[in-house]
């Protein structure tokens, strides 16, 4: 059972916009910044957003992030087949004194 | 260009100790604001953080591993070593090492190794 809760799957048609939610608590998301990672099948994860909403160099601006209270969201606009992957949120948990990941969300392009 | 690569055994017997080495290039682990960590992923499951070592040799460990994990660095060799004692079949996973840096006051796993699958038979 992950400390951060994500939906198991979301899907959308090409060019649509999808969002992935990440729900936590005051000891993690509520007090620390959130990162998002993309993991394509058979590959290592890669960073797509940090500090809630900042894009690393080289990451498409179709990705965006937000945070409100103890929840965070990743949005992918203009959905493309290359976006099919698992997405994980991550943050620091002050109570556990550990970096914690969400359970992951599989994004499928229909 | 930052690269990391994990090496170690692919098969470990129950109760044995796992030792994995992360060899990296493109940065120095004695540079302020830099760290290397380990994250694992059981087949078909989510990511789980295990350990982290900072440039100043401060170390952090996942409380869920209950003292089974140790992380060390050899700056001269550009390597970080992870040991996990008392291995169990539930420890079967892909083990990733990753580079972390503090940018805009945020630590994040900015570059990952390809991962190495370690199996513990039952």
Task: Please write the tens of the pLDDT for every residue from A5-21.
Answer: 999 999 999 999 999 99
What are the backbone dihedrals phi and psi of residue B69, each rounded to the nearest 5 degrees, phi first? -110, 140
CA A59, B62, A92 angle in degrees (round to 5)? 45
Q: Residue A66 contacts by C-beta under 8 Å, 6 or more apart in sequence?
A: A52, A53, A72, A73, A75
Q: What is the pLDDT of residue B104?
A: 86
Please check whether residue A68 touches B, CB under 8 A.
no
Please check whether residue B103 touches A, CB under 8 A.
yes
Give me B37's structure tokens. Answer: 């960590």
Shortest Cα–Cα distance, B84 to chain A (Å): 17
pLDDT band at B66 (very low <50, low <70, confident <90, very high): confident
pLDDT value at A98 more than 80:
yes
CB hemisphere CA count around B70 (13 angstroms): 7
| Contact predicate A39/A21, CB 8 Å | no
Q: What is the pLDDT of residue A90?
A: 98
**Which tens digits make up the pLDDT trace of B27-65?**
999 999 999 999 999 999 999 999 999 999 999 999 999
pLDDT value at A1 more than 90:
no
Interface contact flag, B47 A56, Cβ < 8 Å? no
* A contact test, residue of B63, B106, B116 with most A CBs within 10 A: B106
Q: What is the pLDDT of residue B103?
A: 87
Q: What is the pLDDT of residue A38?
A: 98
Task: Return the SS3 of B77.
Answer: helix
Give the rounded percent of residues in chain A with a pLDDT score beyond 90.
98
Q: What is the pLDDT of residue A36?
A: 98
Interface contact flag, A101 B49, Cβ < 8 Å? yes
Average pLDDT, chain B: 96
pLDDT value at B105 more than 90:
no
For residue A87, what is the nearest residue in chain B, using CA coordinates?
Answer: B46
**Which tens digits make up the pLDDT trace of B72-101?**
999 999 999 999 999 999 999 999 999 999
pLDDT value at A78 more than 80:
yes
Chain A residues inside the 8 Å CB shell of B106: 33, 35, 50-51, 54
Q: What is the pLDDT of residue A96?
A: 95
Report d(CA A105, CA A85) in Å as an integer. 8
Per-residue exposure over A34-70, b if at least 16 CB sit within 10 Å of its own CB, e if not: bbbbbbeeeebbbbbbbbbbebeeebeeebbbebeeb
**Which tens digits make up the pLDDT trace of A49-63?**
999 999 999 999 999
């Amino acid at each position: 059972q992950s400390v951060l809760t994500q939906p198991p799957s979301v899907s959308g048609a090409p060019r649509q916009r999808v969002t992935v939610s990440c729900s936590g608590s005051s000891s993690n998301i509520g007090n620390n910044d959130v990162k998002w990672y993309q993991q394509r099948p058979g590959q290592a994860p890669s960073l797509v957003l940090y500090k809630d909403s900042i894009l690393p160099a080289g990451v498409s601006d179709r990705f965006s992030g937000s945070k409100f209270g103890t929840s965070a969201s990743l949005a992918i606009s203009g959905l493309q087949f290359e976006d099919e992957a698992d997405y994980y949120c991550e943050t620091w948990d002050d109570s556990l004194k550990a970096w914690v990941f969400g359970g992951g969300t599989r994004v499928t392009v229909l | 260009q930052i690269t990391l690569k994990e090496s170690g055994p692919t098969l470990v017997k129950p109760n044995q100790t796992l030792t994995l080495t992360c060899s990296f290039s493109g940065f120095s682990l004695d540079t302020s604001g830099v760290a290397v960590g380990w994250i694992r992923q059981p087949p078909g499951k989510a990511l789980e953080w295990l350990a982290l070592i900072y440039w100043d040799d401060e170390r952090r460990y996942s409380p869920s591993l209950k003292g089974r994990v140790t992380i060390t660095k050899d700056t001269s060799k550009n390597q970080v070593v992870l040991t996990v004692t008392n291995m169990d079949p539930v420890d079967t996973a892909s083990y990733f090492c990753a580079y972390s840096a503090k940018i805009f006051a945020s630590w994040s796993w900015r570059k990952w190794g390809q991962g190495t699958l370690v199996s513990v038979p039952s």
